[in-house]
Amino acid sequence: MIDEVGGQPRISVVTPSYNQAEFLEATLRSVISQGYPDLEYVVVDGGSTDGSADLIRRYEADIDWWTSEPDDGHAHALNKGFAHTTGEIMCWINSSDLYYPWTLATVAEIFSQLPQVEWIMGVASQFDAGGRPRAVGSSYGMNVYDVLAGDYKWIQQESVFWRRRLWERAGGRLDQDLRCAGDFDLWLRFFRLTPLYSVGTVLGGFRVHDDRLGETSDNCYEREADELYGRFVASTDRGTLARARAVRLLRPRRLTVVAESLAKAGVLPWYRHPRVQYDFEQAAWTVR
């Protein structure tokens, strides 16, 4: 069931975790301390042995459902968590990463004011091991032609939020056969269905530390992402691929900006990067 409090959509957040007690509390607090009125928070611990369960227990009054038991990996933990959610807006934040104090309220405003938007990505940012923000990326958007042209590794999961209806249309689960790149597989399924809207503000950040997910000696994420990308290209029609080849010729990035200008002028009408920006005069979020 989808519920709303005071006209604000329910937001379902899942945090998967395994032996991340060093960082987990900061992640929990980055979600709970926002005080969002219709937050549905689920925490799925994989049977940690570092005291994570005791830490989660201290916050269980603000958590709708949690468990600490062995699972079959990251995607399985997320599927288990999302099965216990009902919110209209969905997302996950891993157990060392962080949201900003305004994240959930901002996401709620955007989805409430812009019904045509089905998934969004904020400006990418990174924290150091101590939780201090150290880097903010560019606000360039990404569309399916960029992905097909090979620019497909820069969607920051911590900054992505989507509607439940899109999740259900895309299969309603992550691929548990993938050990590291389950997020990228989900993004590709989303791209098949609707454009990604880029939001001109930071919404979440990735903590850089030695034990982070995807940083493995066997390059797990890169290998899986490359394989998924190959399948995505192979299943794409020739006309779309021809456009993607044209985009590839427009690199580096400054030439892509030229292509975006041509799209706005009607010369390349298909090469657009939908953006969500705040209009200060109207005090509302708008699509550009």
Whole-model pTM: value is 0.93
**CB-based contacts of 102, cutoff 8 Å, min separation 6:** 34
Distance (Å, whole) CA 96 – CA 122: 18
Does the pLDDT at position 71 exceed 90?
yes
Q: Say if strands 4-5 and 39-45 run parallel, antiparallel, or are unpaired.
A: unpaired
pLDDT at residue 254 tops 80:
no
pLDDT at 251: 65
Mean of pLDDT over the chain: 92
Residue 243 has pLDDT above 80, yes or no: yes
92-106, 107-121, 238-252: which has the minimum mean pLDDT?
238-252
> If you search the block for the tokens 């209806």, which residue do you land on?
165
What mean pLDDT comes out for the span 184-200?
A: 97
What pLDDT, on a 0 to 100 scale, did the predictor assign at position 259? 67
- Nearest Cα residue to 165 out of 120, 107, 119, 196: 119
Query: Does 214 score more than 70 pLDDT?
Result: no
Q: Which CATH number fits domain 9-287: 3.90.550.10, 3.40.50.1390, 3.40.50.300, 3.40.50.170?
A: 3.90.550.10
Residues 8-62: pLDDT tens digits? 999 999 999 999 999 999 999 999 999 999 999 999 999 999 999 999 999 999 9
Q: How much is the pLDDT for 246? A: 86
With b for 16 or more beta-carbon neighbours within 10 A and e for fewer, the 232-249 pattern comes to bbeeeeeeeeebbeebee
Average pLDDT rounded to a whole number, residues 61-84: 98
- Mean pLDDT over 173-198 rounds to 97
Per-residue confidence (pLDDT) for residue 7, from 0 to 100: 82
Q: What is the pLDDT, as a whole number, of residue 151?
A: 86
pLDDT at 2: 43
Domain limits, the chain: 9-287
pLDDT level of residue 253 (50, 70, 90 thresholds) = low
261 token code pair: 């200008």
Q: What is the pLDDT of residues 116-168, one digit of tens each?
A: 999 999 999 999 999 999 999 987 789 999 999 998 877 999 999 999 999 99
The closest of 105, 88, 99 to 12, measured between CA atoms, is 88
Q: Kindly give, in sequence order, each residue whose CB lies less than 8 Å from that of residue 135, ignoring residues fewer than 6 positions away.
A: 125, 126
